[in-house]
Amino acid sequence: MRQGRFEKGLDEAMSRLNASIGYDQRMYIEDIEGSIAWAKALEKAGILNSQENQEIQKVLKEIEEEIRSGEFQFSIELEDIHMNIEARLIERLGPTGAKLHTGRSRNDQVATDLRLYLRKACDATIDGIETLIEAVVKTAERSLGVMVPAYTHLQRAQPVLFSHHLLAYAEMLLRDRRRFERAREEADVCPLGSGACAGNQFGMDREFLRDELGFSDLTHNSMDGVSDRDFVVDYLHASCLLATHLSRFSEDIILWCSSEFGLVKLQDTVTTGSSMLPQKRNPDAAELARGKCGRLVGHLMGLLTTLKGLPLTYNKDLQEDKEPVFDAIDTLELILPVFKVMVETMEVVPDRAAELLQGGFLDATALADYLTRKGVPFREAHDLVGLAVRKCEELQTDLANLPLEEYQKISGEFAEDLFPAIALEATVKDKDVIGGTSPKRVEEEIKRINGLIAASKK
């Protein structure tokens, strides 16, 4: 590539900086897929004859097997996966192999490879998310009878089913799945045939290339085709939000596992010990998932910063798109299976859940609702319950055990039927709306989510 224009070779330090073969070699399958499609299109355009096309395809498949088996010798001097494969092809086929790059640039080649690679990555991530959703739902089904406090501002607020809490994360994961589906759609566009920046000069059939590579659409501007990395940003954005949701879930699990909460027990298979403290059972799976979130946020911010100042079209800065996305893919491949095991095998401790429901006046809102149903305006009911809570604190008791005569000093609307109305089971059952925490609605949600996952696998 340098022999015609340059007299001297690259400085060794420049060669190391310039080369991407250390990480882009993982796209060798996609590079060969694109090259085989290009060879077919070259024959269709009359650049290759049938024999040359068949020879190129045969050797490319042999090169793919060389790389897969570990026999292939990558060269840093050849910079990237594209030149490494092409050089080996020319070594094997001579002038016939040298024809393959006719009308093609590494600019449209790398954009095509990366889109092909990310389509597969999105599919794998979606599968991992769906598997995790199934684990969340299974644990929710096992825990249907357990009530726990829900928190706002990390203060006890109202009782909910533990299953309802878990299914909140299933909702986040369903949104994550949709984001990766959209990221896949954005990647599913073929830029091959865009050339270096201006398009192809040999009349290549781009619709043929699109169909041959299984893309749903074509890019419609050659300059944008070689320089667009929005689809990479979309994958990183989806990864970033998925990691954020897993981090939030991790934080809840870490709190639940603490001695202060004691609400959940994690299995030995996802916990670690201490080198000094023999009693420790550390929730490292959750902590590592929480910690890796920052890494993925950094990848998204890094690529956006790289892109923000680039003029059209291709610039070598775009080489910085691959390491963050490859690391994001690898990170999610590490986290999702472990998170699935952690969630699927964790056990809620019912006795501790019952203890956590005591204190914090979780039935205060139900008491205000009781008055509201008797015609008391809610703001007035809110104030009256506040007086009742203050009296409980004064007498060191709770709303369920405050004597009726104390209630009636606050308001004549209070009667003996208030106690069944503020029982925790009743307050949970009372939230009988779509999205509510009543057992009936939670069971409906479990069925709905299971149906969504089942439908996606058909």
Residues annotated catalytic, as ranges? 153, 274
Residue-wise DSSP of 204-225 = --HHHHHHHTT-SEE-S-HHHH
Q: For residues 110 and 434, what is the distance between their CA atoms, to the nearest angstrom? A: 48
The answer for residues whose C-beta is within 8 angstroms of residue 158's C-beta and 6 or more apart is 149, 150, 362, 365, 366, 427
- Phi, psi values for residue 111, rounded to 5°: -65, -40
Neighbours of 304 (CB within 10 A): 13
Please check whether residue 456 is in contact with residue 130, taking contact to mean a CB–CB distance below 8 angstroms.
Answer: yes
- Letter for the amino acid at 189? V
* 347-348 and 217-218 strand pairing: unpaired
Query: Of all helices (H) and strands (E), which one includes residue 148?
Result: strand 147-152
**Count of beta carbons in the 10 Å neighbourhood of residue 51:** 10
Nearest 10 degrees: Cα torsion 7, 13, 19, 25 = 130
Backbone φ and ψ of 408, nearest 5°: -70, -20
Residue 272 DSSP symbol: B
In degrees rounded to 5, what are phi and psi of residue 265? -115, 125
